[in-house]
Amino acid sequence: MDFLTLFAIYVVVVLTCMFLVCKYSGQQQTPFTLIFNAVGKVVAPFTPTWLQKASQWTLHRLFHQRNNMFIYLHVLLEVAVYGEFTYEVFGFCREMDTTLTSLSVPYILLAIKTVLFYLCIKSDPGTVTKKKAAGQVHIYPYDRRLFQPGLSCPTCQLIKPARSKHCSLCNRCVQRFDHHCVWVNNCIGAKNTRYFLLYLYSVCAMAGSIALLTVDMLLHVVLRSGLLMASYVDEYGQQQPAGPMFVVQHLFLTFPRIIFMLGFLVFVFFLLAGYTLFHSFLALVNQTANEWYKSRGYVCQHCHPTAAPDHLCNPAPDHSKRYYYSRGILQNLGEIFFPLQLVQKKAK
């Protein structure tokens, strides 16, 4: 099982790196910068100055500035998966009488995903501007918990609407800010959360459909070849029946690229499925990832034991309500897919 062990380790390492990149992108201190700094201190005496500056510039541009590298990586992985599926799996499936309708599903999903991916990249997430700020302030009420009225963004020099946040990578304040996604090189906010959710579902559907077709093909190979009834001679010269692990190893050695693709798709599917379920839950309760993260460590300053004895809490906001902006599932989803519009003042 040496090949399978190496394959599993490789996939785990790749997906761990992907997770860390998504989690820590945009932060000043990350595992990547800590490792880079530690290695840099060791090799600095032997490294030319120009190379050190170039490495620092590359690291900063990669993780602390907007760039299209992860878009290119996304497309590269997609091309690799669909190339392997078309080159090998498609032909095997046709030989095993899989219908063209079933085989066309991944390509239809690819077309849908490409449109949504483009919309996530190009659409305005809801940038707060001087022209729109006056109306955007009235879209959501301040909960006086996570969002306080009267606060201004020191960078944009604008009053911050409730649920907005300044994105350091995009250098702008975004209405109903959720997070900055490195894979689309754009913020996810009020106006493009709908595209982002559908994009996540489409990617999961793509990975799932290709994985199912590949598993179906491999099962047909196993059943038609009679591998389950076969036997082999072990290292001691004893004849042993072929069990599931032997079949998996045989398939890995016979179809290494297909098995690698399948393993990668399965890991990516479960990783994205969990992420998609999380964002679906947030949509149902009308909460953003930014609000969820901030509320985890929230402590009411007015009710804190160290607060001044003569300080009176403001009873107006409902601090007991966990999901302050929730208006019911249907209305919450309606707000995602039909974003609230600016409050326009009627001319007299």
Cα torsion 318, 319, 325, 330: sign: negative
Strand partners, 187: 180
CA distance 127 to 164: 9
Task: For residue 306, give Cα distances in angstroms to 5, 294, 300, 301, 303.
Answer: 54, 21, 11, 8, 8
Q: How many CA atoms lie within 13 A of 52 on its CB side?
A: 12
Give the Cα separation of 153 and 165 in Å (integer): 8
| Exposure string over 215-250, b if 16+ CB within 10 A, otherwise e | ebbbebbbeeeeeeeeeeeeeeeeeeebeeebbbbb
Catalytic annotation present for 173: no
Catalytic residue, from 120, 156, 181, 187: name it: 181
Q: DSSP readout, 267-323?
A: HHHHHHHHHHHHHHHHHHHT--HHHHHHHHT---TTTSTTS-TT-----SS-TT-SS
**For residues 121 and 71, is the Cβ–Cβ distance under 8 A?**
yes
Backbone angles phi, psi at 163, to 5 degrees: 75, 5
Distance CA 94, CA 77 (A): 24
Cβ–Cβ < 8 Å for 124, 192: yes
| Residue positions annotated with a catalytic role | 181
